[in-house]
Amino acid sequence: MPKLERSAYYDLTRDMNWRFKYVRAEEVFPQEMVHNPEVPYEEWWKWDEPYKVTYREYVYNQSEKDHGVYSVKAAIARSKLFDALDNGWKAALTAHYGAIALPEYLASIGESRMARFGLGASWRNMATYGCLDETRHGQIQVYFPYGLLDKHPQFDWAHKAFHTNEWGAIAARSMFDRMFTANDALSTAIQLTFTFETGFTNLQFLGMAADAMDVGDVEFGALISSIQTDESRHAQIGEPTLRILLKNGKKKEAQRLVETMWWRAWHIFALLTGLSMDYYTPLEHRSMSFKEFMEEWVLRQFLDMFRDLGMDPPWYWDIMRDEMNWYQHGLHLGVWFWRPTVWWNPDGGVSEAEREWLEEKYPGWNDTFGRYWDVITENIRNGQTEKTLPQTLPLVCNMCHIPIVTLSDPKQKHNAPYVSEYNGRRYLFCSEPCKWIFDVEPEKYAGYLSIVDRFLAGHIQPPTLENVLAYMGLTPDIWGRDADNYAWAFQKKVDQAAVGN
């Protein structure tokens, strides 16, 4: 029996669109499950994915990938490779697993909602693969850190983080819940697969896999590479969805969906990737700064795509470009200073040689953030580490749930939080765009209580910092500590050069 060319049968396997007779299309695809802004139902039948795959190919590729990655895992488990890794890299690893493993599982919920309520059969077909992908990503990114539990109990937070009220988990959860876990199918296609995955993670995984191999983390490198190839397949769901919206005159809706999510993705991305690129990755393995990565890999690609599609860059593009100069530095200093509130051991990353790198990549760093580290370094050298630990809470943004850090350049000072009043309650925000996202749909976010709101509402009793840590699910064996026990505060550049050879 001659084998048909894939192109000869491909449409047969995925184009299951039909005109309903016994029910109306709105009953099959209810608005609360897929917010269709009045695009004619059959317009969605033209949905077409650039990168095609059949189920046979899918199963074959995925089993090959899993076979490869799990054998690397088994081989590495018997070696001492992990123990030789840099402590800063281990911090990036621990943070990644806690922040990403379970959301991948949750993303399979978003994908399965598209697999059922996607308005074109080819969209539903591609989302079915996306659901299988995300299930795989959740499983593999819980299994790998499970294999590292004997190294440090913090790896248990790969599974635990999303079940706690730790502030970083709240920040990630509140975004991912909005992006896919509790989002309608159309908005998920635009906000998860287009804005977040095409915009950020598809490229991030490429960069991370390269960094992992560079620092000698073969296991994580193999894992992330195998995930990245899945990501590029299901990330493509966003573009055809967007094209149909635009073709049918729905640019305003599409623009709002992208803009209300891009900014939140930028803040979470800066928290997770900014710190690891600018402070945790060992100096000798840093290929570029976070800002350079954002400009070269994320911004340029996204702007090109935006223009191709006929979309406008978000109104806050310049605010974001400014934040790329300092926001990750504020977050790093905040995470390091409030380190007991995170499930990983932050690397100070400010030895003399590292500060020189920071000054070169971010001219003026020493005059802004360097000044804080001068005071902190002096306290450490004087044996007063208690002065480098928090005595109160930072204010947390009521939108992105990340502490409100501010530019430290005296000339452009804006310390005061941005404020909105809604139904008699006052909401505080870290930035104009976070405030704007709230003001666009306040009823969507009004019920959220930040960790500080809960503290002030008496949810944490007695209201002490120790109890805040317990409320966050953090136990003493998990509290973050300085990754190198403050070695960087005593490290002269000469020692650093010797260490580097």
Partner 1 sequence: MATVPLTAAHKEDFVVLLVPVEDTDTIAQVAQKIAAHTVGIRVKPRNKPLQVMHNGRMVPDHLTVAEAGIRPMDYVEVSYVE
Which CB atom, from 16 or from 375, has the smaller least distance to partner 1?
Answer: 375
C-alpha closest to that of 266 among 196, 207, 340, 346: 196
Residue 272's SS3 state is helix
Residue 485's SS3 state is coil
Residue 479's SS3 state is coil
Please report how close the Cβ of residue 369 comes to partner 1 at its closest, in angstroms.
Answer: 7
Residues in a beta bridge with 420: 427
Please report how close the Cβ of residue 463 comes to partner 1 at its closest, in angstroms.
Answer: 9
Q: What is the CA 137 to chain-centroid distance, rounded?
A: 14
Which CB atom, from 286 or from 332, has the smaller least distance to partner 1?
Answer: 332
Chain residues in the site for partner 1 (CB under 8 A): 330, 333-334, 337, 369, 371-372, 374-376, 379, 387-388, 391-395, 403-408, 410, 413, 415-417, 426, 428, 452, 455-456
Residue 447 CB neighbours (<10 A):
7
Which CB atom, from 392 or from 501, has the smaller least distance to partner 1?
Answer: 392
Which CB atom, from 269 or from 338, has the smaller least distance to partner 1?
Answer: 338
Report which DSSP code applies to 236: G
Which CB atom, from 220 or from 438, has the smaller least distance to partner 1?
Answer: 438
Which CB atom, from 266 or from 418, has the smaller least distance to partner 1?
Answer: 418
Please report how close the Cβ of residue 414 comes to partner 1 at its closest, in angstroms.
Answer: 10
Please report how close the Cβ of residue 388 comes to partner 1 at its closest, in angstroms.
Answer: 8
Which CB atom, from 467 or from 475, has the smaller least distance to partner 1?
Answer: 467
∠ CA 353-386-368, nearest 5°, is: 40
Please report how close the Cβ of residue 404 comes to partner 1 at its closest, in angstroms.
Answer: 4
Give the position of tokens 């051991």.
345
Please report how close the Cβ of residue 328 comes to partner 1 at its closest, in angstroms.
Answer: 12
Question: Alpha helix (H) ranges present in 217-299?
Answer: 218-234, 238-247, 251-269, 275, 290-293
Please report how close the Cβ of residue 391 comes to partner 1 at its closest, in angstroms.
Answer: 6
Residue 17 CB neighbours (<10 A):
16
Q: What is the CA 46 to chain-centroid distance, rounded?
A: 31
Residue 276's SS3 state is helix
